[in-house]
Structure 1
C-alpha cells in the first residue's frame, strides 16, 4: 500500500471513528482514557476520564456477568487475562437513561499496552426479543387458559350436571311413591347423590382457588390439597414442612402453591407412582420446595405430555417472583423438582 492509499485509509478510519454509533474508548496501561470518539461521550463525560475504573464503574449498572445486576463478581476490569469475547452491560448515559450495551475489552497494542473498550447499544434488539417473548408467552397463556376452561367444562358437564340430572329424576319419581319404606329408601339415595354432588363441587372449587390459601397460608393449603388427592385418587403425598406457619406475600404464596400443585399432579398423571415426596423449608430469605418421585421419569427437552403450560409455565411463574426452578429427571429413576423463591 503506497503513501497515498495509506493516507486515504487513515482518513476513512478517522471518519468512521467519529461518526460510528459504536462507542470506542482507548486506554493506557494505567487505565487512563487516552481518547474516545463522539459516540462514547454519550456515556463517559469529559470529567470522568481520569481512569477506566472511575469512567466505567461510575456509569455501570451491572450485568457484566451472569450472576446478578449491580454485581462486580468476575468483572472484566478485574480479569487477569483480556480476551476478545463480548459481554453485556447496562450503562447510564449522560442523559441519565440506563441502556443495554454489548461491550468488548481487549488489548490492541502489546508494546504500548494500549487497550480499547467498545460499546454497542442493543436496545432495539432487546426490545424485539422482549416483544417476541411476550407474544410467545401470551399465546401459551391463552392456550393454557382455553385448555383449563375445557377441562372445567367437562368436569361440570360430566360430573356436576349429570349428578344434578340424577337428583332431578329421583325427585320426580319420589312424588309417585306411596309406600313409606320405598319413600325412605329413595330419599336416602337422593341424599347420597347430593352428598357426592357437594364433594365434587368442593373439589372443583379447591382446584380453582383453595380458600385455605388465602385464609391460613401455604402449609394449610398444602395439607388440604394433599388430603383431597389421597381421598379422591388414593395418591399419597409425604409432606414435610420444616418451617412454622409463616405467611408470605400473596403473590409468592400463589406461585409456590401452583407450581407444587402442577408438579404433584404431573407425578400422579404421568409418573406411574402411587406416592410423592414434598419438602418445604424457609431458611434465611428463601422458601425452598422440593417435589420428588421415583416414577418412570422422562428425557428433558422432549415433547411434554398433557396440556397447559407444564414445565414452561412453572418456570415462568417462578420468574415472576424472582425465583429459580430446576428440574432433574432420568428415565426409569424418577423426577426431582426444586423451587427457590426469595421472600425479602
Structure 2
C-alpha cells in the first residue's frame, strides 16, 4: 500500500462521526482518529485504560483484566472509560478483531457518545414540531383567506354589480368593467393561494387524491405530462406522514418544472412493510448534485429534514442534461 493510499484512508477515517481506535493485544494504541482523540484524549502509544467494570472485576492469576483483549468481537456494549484529566465518560462501543499476515492480532474499537444520539433525537423532534407549527399556521392563513378576506372581496364584487344599472357614461362603464375583471381575478387568486397553503383534499380525501389534485393544477398551468402511479395499501396514513410526503413531492414537482424545465414527469408511490417509498423522475435539464447544494439552497435541505423527521431519507441522482431521479421513503407509525 502506497503512502497516497494510507493518507486517503486516514483522511476517510477522520471524517467518520464515530471514534476509531486500533490497538494490539496489549491494549497499546496504534491509531486513533480525530473523533476518537477528541472524545477520549487517548494518544498513539498509550494503552487503552480499563473501564470501570474491568477495574473492579475479580480475575485469576495470569488472567487478562481487560475484556476487550480476550474477545474476538463484541457487537455492542456500554462502559464508562477514563478520559481527560481522570474523568470518566459513558460510551457505546463495538469491538472487532483482525489478524495480520504476520500473525499479529489487532483490535478495532468503535466508540460513540450516547449524548450525541440524544442530541440527534432532540433535533429531530424540534424539526418535526417546527414543521407542524408551520403547517398549522398555513392552515390558519388559508382559512382566513377563504373565510374572511375572500368573503369580503366577494361582497365588494356584489356591491359593485349593484351599481352597474346606474352607470351610463362610456368612460365609467369602461372603468367599471376593469374593476369587475380585477375583482374576479383577485377572487380566483385568493382561492388558489388558499389551496396552495393547505390543500383541503389532503385533509378530506387523503394523500393520493391530494397529489392527483396537485398534478391537475400543474397541468392546467404548464404544458407538462405528469404520470402518477400509486400502490398504497393503507387508505389513510397518519397526518404527519401524509403531509410530509405531500410537501416533498410538491417541492419535487416545483423544482422539475420551474427550474428543470421538464415536460415529462413520473411520480411513483408505494408501500412495503413499515415504509412508504416514492420516486420522482423528470426529463428536465438536470444539475450536478453535490451535498454542498443543500447549504446554499433551502429546497433540498427542507425536503431532507422533513423526511428525516419521520424516520425517512432522501436520495438524489442528477447530472447536467438530465434526467433527475429523486428517491425517498418515510417510516409508517405502527398502530
Evaluate the alpha carbon distance shift between residue 251 and residue 121 of structure 1 in structure 2; reply closer, same or farther with a 3 A threshold: closer
State whether structure 2 residue 189 is matched by structure 1 residue 200: yes
Q: Structure 1 residue 186: deviation in Å?
A: 7.7
Aligned to 1:100: 92
Rounded to whole Å, the distance in 2 between the matches of 1:180 and 1:101 is 88
Match of 1:267 among 213, 233, 256: 256
Evaluate the alpha carbon distance shift between residue 308 and residue 44 of structure 1 in structure 2; reply closer, same or farther with a 3 A threshold: farther
Evaluate the alpha carbon distance shift between residue 116 and residue 276 of structure 1 in structure 2; reply closer, same or farther with a 3 A threshold: closer
Aligned to 1:5: none
State whether structure 2 residue 310 is matched by structure 1 residue 314: no
Q: Structure 1 residue 224: deviation in Å?
A: 1.3
Q: Structure 1 residue 237: deviation in Å?
A: 2.1
Q: Deviations over 1:63-118 (max 9, x none)?
A: xxxxxxxxxxxxx839xxxxxxxxxx763348xx974347564569x77x876575
Any unmatched runs of 5+ in structure 1? Answer: 1-12, 14-20, 24-35, 57-75, 79-88
State whether structure 2 residue 73 is matched by structure 1 residue 77: yes
Q: Structure 1 residue 273: deviation in Å?
A: 2.0
Evaluate the alpha carbon distance shift between residue 250 and residue 186 of structure 1 in structure 2; reply closer, same or farther with a 3 A threshold: same
Match of 2:53 among 41, 46, 55: 41
Q: Deviations over 1:18-49 (max 9, x none)?
A: xxx799xxxxxxxxxxxx964251799669xx
Contact 2:95 2:107 in 1 (8 A): no
Rounded to whole Å, the distance in 1 between the matches of 2:164 and 2:187 is 24
Rounded to whole Å, the distance in 2 between the matches of 1:287 and 1:333 is 26
Q: Deviations over 1:111-149 (max 9, x none)?
A: 7x876575756457x489859x96xx98xx99xx8xxx9
Rounded to whole Å, the distance in 1 between the matches of 2:217 and 2:174 is 29
Where 2:324 maps in the other structure, the secondary structure is strand
Aligned length: 256
Where 2:190 maps in the other structure, the secondary structure is helix
Aligned to 1:247: 236
Q: How does 1:1-344 map to 2 (within 5 A)?
A: 38-39=50-51, 41=53, 77=73, 91-93=77-79, 99-101=91-93, 105=97, 122-123=113-114, 126=116, 171=160, 174=163, 177-179=166-168, 192-243=181-232, 246-301=235-290, 304=293, 309-343=298-332, 344=334
Contact 1:44 1:93 in 2 (8 A): no
Where 1:321 maps in the other structure, the secondary structure is coil
Contact 1:271 1:297 in 2 (8 A): yes
Contact 2:78 2:93 in 1 (8 A): no
Contact 1:267 1:295 in 2 (8 A): yes
Q: Structure 1 residue 265: deviation in Å?
A: 0.5
